[in-house]
Amino acid sequence: MEQQQKCAIVTGGGRGLGRAICLKLAAEGYDLVTCYAHSASAAEETMNECSALGVRAIAVQADVSVEEDVAALFAKAKETFGRIDVLVNNAGITRDDLLLKMTADKFDEVIATNLRGSFLCTKVAAKEMLRQKSGRIIYLSSVVGIHGNAGQTNYAASKAGLIGLAKSTAKELGSRGITANVIAPGFMETEMTASLPEEVKKEYEKSIPLRRFGKAEDIADAVAFLASDAAGYITGQVLQVDGGMGM
């Protein structure tokens, strides 16, 4: 029997790190599913680029913080591709403010998308992976989730929570051939950092031993490794892709 092509789900894959991850996995031969809450055009464009690399790729509208949306997302993936081999929990938002000014709504909104969303996706993916007795679950955290950051108590809490979620998932599912790992990016070249004044960028770069911001492709390469057979004996780990700033 011909072996089925592997399928990867990347949440929030329309732009930024998610887009780079989708393109990398497509280049590695994975069929792709991504979801978007609002930016349909960006998600469709990314999936078209993935399709141009010779794989099948679809975009599905889904809010990862809504249980019914997550169920529908995974049902569509299974219906279309027959299996789910890799889950990359990438979808995330920021609502930055100082602790004393931060509203409960801002805190809850970030936790709902970044942490609850990853929990909901992991739970559904795990059921399918348990049947297959194999799978890779990867979480996009942040060095902020390890070290904290002023003005980001909600974001840092959500990203720290992903580390606990991943380690617990690794312990629960490891005996069935399923790995769960975390990637913690440092300062990356993104739309947000592109708007920083040059003098501010230079100050940040001084804290990075490699003296540069990371590229989205640096994160995509790390995801591709953790998704591969070469990483089959790695689970419950946090890989800091930060140019050494977290040392």
Q: Which residues contact 239 (CB under 8 A, 6 or more apart)?
A: 181, 182, 183, 184, 222, 226
Question: Does residue 209 lie in a domain region?
Answer: yes
Residues counted in the chain = 247
pLDDT, tens digit, for every residue of 161-176?
A: 999 999 999 999 999 9
Q: What is the pLDDT of residues 70-121, one digit of tens each?
A: 999 999 999 999 999 999 999 999 999 999 999 999 999 999 999 999 999 9
> Which domain covers residue 230, as residue numbers?
7-241
| Residue 246 belongs to some domain of the structure | no
The answer to whether residue 1 is domain-embedded is no
Among 30, 36, 139, 155, the one annotated catalytic: 155
Residue 247 lies in a domain: no
> Residue 206: inside a domain, yes or no?
yes
Is the per-residue pLDDT at 216 higher than 90?
A: yes
CATH number of the domain that residue 54 is part of: 3.40.50.720
Q: What is the pTM of this model?
A: 0.95
Whether the pLDDT of residue 198 is over 90: the answer is no
* Mean pLDDT, residues 12-31 taken together: 96
Domain count, the chain: 1
- 240: helix, strand or coil: strand
DSSP letters, 104-145, are HHHHHHHHIIIIIHHHHHHHHHHHHHHHHT-EEEEEE--THH
Please report whether residue 80 resides in a domain.
Answer: yes
Cα–Cα distances in angstroms (integers) from residue 45 to residues 6, 49, 59, in the given order? 21, 6, 9
Q: Are 22 and 10 in contact (CB under 8 A)?
A: yes
Active site residue 155: yes
Domain contains 211: yes
The pLDDT of 179-186, averaged and rounded, is 97
Average of per-residue pLDDT across 9-33:
96
- Is 25 within the bounds of a domain? yes
